[in-house]
């Protein structure tokens, strides 16, 4: 076992004692993302069923639903033990999936059920993913995060790889309602896996802020504390701006994807398989980067490369799409942008939260990850519709997307500098931000 851990530590560039938390986090992410990406093609199919011309309304509905969910999540985060926030959240979403499965079995062609599910899963995926990352930035300090976050996220990519394949293989056999029952079961298993991660930290406390007794206490505070904390912090506002720009870029590409898929693939089953195939390719590229590239890049070059490289590549992709607005070009740009976001941007973005207070890691973080993201979706969805109406040319929308991506890159560079300053300020003397030679850091 010791030899095996040592070999894995050398292969992935981590300390031996970090193998266990990486494995537990990977399992949580795998189960969550397998559930979500199994359902993501179903969501896209439901969105197309409601009419591509109505997508901006679905985005607006999603934002309003997220706005309503934030005080509820803030109340749960303030009243429930920190270590139980994830189990409570996942149990709630699993119960929701069971109700939707019954509804789909009862009225499979009902457009309002389809639209409600589209909005619900768009809220679910951001809140659920944000909660997992909140736990990780609460348990893992900056130095370890640079080595482990990308590896942990590889579990998400593997789940994102398996999920679409399961959906493609089973959708015609068990139907959409069967996929929902299966996804609910995976969320329950993710709750069990998350407990292992908490038990590991109990056995390896870093300081009082991460001790078992501290995590058994609720955070307290107002249900609206997440919003007020973001508004009071220039650093958190910068992260919010970064997420807003990211979401805007994603929305512009998403609308083009829906429009072109509707034109090329009118059958619902074909649409689900196309969306599933794109997801499979994205996750295949992502997992290789997360396992062998991302961690080594950030340790050598810093967080800035994770926050800047993908926006720059996306800007170039938009320019290419303006010159050649075809489904093939869009598919390439979508795959590169999404793979880059999962492999580079997401780990880098989560590292930004390792230097903020504990309450902000849960409440403010979820506001940014969910409310700001969905608000950007709603605004950019209407903006994309307006640009299309005025210009009548897809190339114009692509050039607007390129300008947004450039602003996104500049914002990422500024946040990387700010995070570096904060990390130095909170690092104990002699620790060097957790980036010292691993041979001297075999114990956490």
Q: Which of 262, 286, 244 is nearest to 53 (CA)?
A: 262
d(CA 278, CA 260): 14
Higher pLDDT, 274 or 29: 29
Backbone angles phi, psi at 218, to 5 degrees: -65, 160
pLDDT at 213: 63
Phi-psi category of residue 53: left, alpha or beta, with phi > 0 → left and psi -120 to 50 → alpha? alpha
Share of the chain residues as helix, strand and coil, in percent rounded to the nearest 5: 90, 0, 10
> Domains of the chain (ranges plus CATH)?
14-205+213-427 (1.20.1250.20)
- Dihedral, CA of residue 157, residue 174, residue 254 and residue 248, to nearest 10: -60
Residue range 311-355, pLDDT digits in tens: 999 999 999 988 887 888 888 888 889 889 988 998 999 999 989
- Over the Cα atoms of the chain, what is R_g? 21
Question: Would you tell me how many other CB atoms lie within 10 Å of the CB of residue 234?
Answer: 7
d(CA 163, CA 167): 6
d(CA 342, CA 347): 7
d(CA 140, CA 31): 20
Residue range 241-262, pLDDT digits in tens: 999 999 888 888 887 777 777 7
pLDDT at 390: 67
Asked whether the predicted pLDDT for residue 8 surpasses 80, the reply is no
Q: What is the pTM of this model?
A: 0.76
CA 174 to the chain's CA centroid: 28
d(CA 49, CA 146): 42
Residue located via tokens 């398996």 = 162
Specify the 3-state DSSP secondary structure of 13.
coil
pLDDT at 63: 81
Residue range 35-89, pLDDT digits in tens: 998 888 777 676 666 565 666 677 778 888 888 888 888 888 888 888 899 999 9
- Dihedral, CA of residue 7, residue 13, residue 19 and residue 21, to nearest 10: -170
pLDDT at 417: 94
Q: Which of 220, 221, 215 is nearest to 83 (CA)?
A: 215
Q: Residue 384 corresponds to which tokens in the numbers above?
A: 């994309």
Residue range 154-206, pLDDT digits in tens: 898 888 778 888 888 887 788 878 889 999 999 999 999 999 998 888 887 76
pLDDT level of residue 391 (50, 70, 90 thresholds): low
């Amino acid at each position: 076992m010791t030899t095996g851990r040592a070999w894995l530590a050398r292969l992935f560039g981590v300390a031996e004692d970090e193998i266990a938390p990486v494995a537990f986090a990977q399992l949580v992410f795998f189960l969550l993302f397998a559930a979500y990406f199994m359902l993501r093609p179903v969501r896209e199919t439901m969105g197309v069923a409601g009419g591509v011309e109505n997508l901006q309304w679905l985005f607006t509905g999603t934002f309003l639903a997220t706005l309503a969910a934030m005080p509820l999540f803030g109340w749960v985060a303030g009243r429930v033990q920190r270590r139980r926030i994830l189990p409570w959240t996942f149990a709630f979403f699993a119960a929701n999936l069971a109700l939707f499965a019954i509804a789909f079995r009862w009225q499979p062609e009902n457009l309002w059920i389809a639209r409600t599910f589209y909005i619900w899963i768009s809220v679910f995926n951001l809140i659920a993913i944000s909660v997992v990352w909140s736990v990780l930035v609460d348990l893992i300090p900056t130095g370890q995060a640079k080595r482990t976050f990308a590896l942990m996220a590889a579990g998400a990519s593997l789940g994102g790889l398996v999920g679409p394949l399961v959906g493609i293989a089973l959708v015609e056999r068990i139907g959409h309602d069967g996929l929902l029952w299966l996804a609910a079961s995976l969320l329950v298993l993710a709750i069990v896996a998350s407990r292992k991660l908490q038990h590991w930290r109990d056995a390896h406390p870093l300081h009082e802020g991460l001790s078992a007794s501290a995590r058994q206490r609720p955070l307290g505070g107002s249900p609206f504390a997440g919003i007020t904390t973001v508004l009071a912090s220039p650093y958190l506002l910068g992260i919010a701006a970064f997420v807003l720009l990211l979401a805007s870029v994603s929305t512009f590409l998403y609308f083009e994807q829906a429009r072109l898929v509707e034109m090329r693939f009118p059958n619902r089953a074909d649409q689900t398989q196309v969306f599933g195939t794109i997801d499979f390719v994205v996750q295949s590229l992502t997992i290789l980067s997360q396992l062998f590239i991302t961690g080594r890049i950030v340790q050598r070059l810093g967080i800035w490369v994770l926050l800047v490289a993908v926006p720059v590549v996306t800007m170039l992709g938009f320019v290419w799409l303006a010159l050649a607005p075809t489904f093939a070009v869009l598919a390439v740009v979508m795959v590169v942008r999404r793979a880059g976001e999962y492999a580079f941007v997401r780990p880098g973005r989560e590292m930004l939260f390792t230097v903020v207070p504990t309450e902000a890691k849960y409440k403010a973080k979820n506001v940014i990850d969910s409310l700001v993201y969905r608000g950007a979706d709603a605004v950019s969805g209407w903006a994309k519709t307006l640009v299309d109406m005025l210009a009548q040319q897809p190339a114009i929308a692509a050039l607007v997307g390129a300008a947004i991506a450039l602003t996104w890159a500049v914002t990422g560079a500024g946040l990387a500098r700010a995070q570096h300053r904060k990390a130095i300020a909170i690092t104990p003397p002699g620790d060097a931000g957790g980036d010292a030679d691993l041979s001297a850091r075999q114990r956490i």
